[in-house]
Structures are given as C-alpha cells and as structure tokens.
Structure 1
C-alpha cells in the first residue's frame, strides 16, 4: 500500500548561484550544478544573472525545470538582476509570470532581495548558506 508522497524538509534556507554563461553550450555543466544543489533541498534558490550576457531557449527550459522541481518541494526559484536584454527575453517567454524576476536596489548589500520581493519565510535555525559560480570554458 502506498500513501501520499512525503515532502522532504528543506535543509538550506538560501542558495545563490551566479551564472556568467547560460546557453546550450554550458547546459550540461549548469544542469549538473542544479542537480547537486537541489539534492540539498534548499528553501530558496536565487539565480544571479547580473554577469550573464546571453540566455537561450535551452537555458530558459532549465530554469523552468528547476522551478518545477523546487515547487514540488515547496521551494522558490528567483532570477535576480538580468540585464535589460535578458529581462525582455524572459518577459517574451513569459517566465516572469511563472517565477520572480527581481532587480536588487543599488544600495542593497549582496545576497539580499529588494523591498517587496521578500524571500520565503525561513526557519529560525540556519544550517548553511552557500554561493556557487558556474564557469564553463568554451
């Protein structure tokens, strides 16, 4: 007899990933990073695109897959600081209607979200906080 799937509790409150390349060429390496990251059961993942110059359909597909996997575990994926061109691409693909796409205010310290875009409430016990950068040589 099988019952409903038990959700795994989040073990990390927040993980930030800074991407400088995010297209089909680097998707295998980036996908591996996200797979490992999701195995940690984070409550919130912030993908910082401030240093990224290009995004393609494959990368958008990966973002939506990560969003879906996080949502199943009651986690949240947020895209932060895309440049205006990437923001238009995300808007055209309607990604901004599915997950939060935010800009940090110039006075905000790194790792914080702007007012009005508060992260999901986090349990009071902080187990770990991490950052990961993905750089792929072409």
Structure 2
C-alpha cells in the first residue's frame, strides 16, 4: 500500500524586501529564503530599495537562492538597488546571472490568476497579498 503524496503548493509571486543584507544577518535571511522556497514560488522578487549595504556573503546567498529557483523552474530577480548596491552587483557580475530591475524599467512579469497546480494538486484561490516581517526582511506572498 502506498501513502498518498501531499500536493505541492505553488504560489505565483513572493516579494522580499530586505533592509540589511550582510554576514551579520545572513543566518536569519537564509532561514527566510528556506521557508519561502518551500512554497515553490514561480517568481521571487528581492526588493533592495531600503537596503544600504550588501556584502560578499549576501551575494553568495543570492546565488544559492538563484540556483535553487532555477532547479525548481522559478525565477529570482532583484528590484530597486540603490546606485552603490547596483555597482556592487555589476562588479560581481550578478546582473548577468539574474534580472536586476528599477522602478523606471518594466517590472518583472508576475503570474496572475490562480496558481497552476502540479498534477493531482489543487489550485490556490486568488487572495489579497499576505505580508509578514521577519527581522530585517519583509515577505509578501501573492497567491
């Protein structure tokens, strides 16, 4: 007798606003990403508009989350880095690996309507975004 598998939960878009992104908060921020990736999002947008500093440890975490998203068929992008952080991302060539957007550019395309369920799964209802604060990160899930 086989145990029935639980359907995968897939959400179209998760937005994460980060105010501090360096080694000091890496464990906390990494835990937030671990939790949100269990939702199997199609797209994760990291809003850096309120972030003043980013270091090599944070760039390493972004690369790790990017790899995990690609393996799961999703997309990770960065939105609104300040000019200093944008230069750091360019120097690290991160802007060549994942999309970096500003408000003046077209925003990343979000999936609209109900999420497409995996085979045998259920469709999530369209609802208002849920926003939760996790220390230095704020996560908004749009279903």
Shorter-chain TM-score bucket reads: 0.7 to 0.9
Match of 2:59 in 1: 60
**1:135 pairs with 2:135:** yes
How many residues matched? 119
Match of 2:114 in 1: 125
Larger Rg: 2
Report the TM-score when normalising by structure 2.
Answer: 0.75
**Two-structure CA RMSD over aligned residues (Å):** 2.0
User: Any gaps of 5 or more consecutive residues in structure 2?
Assistant: 1-6, 116-123, 137-143
1:130 Cα deviation (Å)? 4.0
Report the TM-score when normalising by structure 1.
Answer: 0.78
1:123 Cα deviation (Å)? 6.4
Higher strand share: 2
Map 1:76-91; keep pairs closer than 5 Å. 76-91=75-90
User: Any gaps of 5 or more consecutive residues in structure 1?
Assistant: 1-7, 106-113
CA–CA separation in structure 2 for the residues paired with 1:123 and 1:58? 33
- SS where residue 16 of structure 2 aligns? strand
- SS where residue 76 of structure 2 aligns? strand
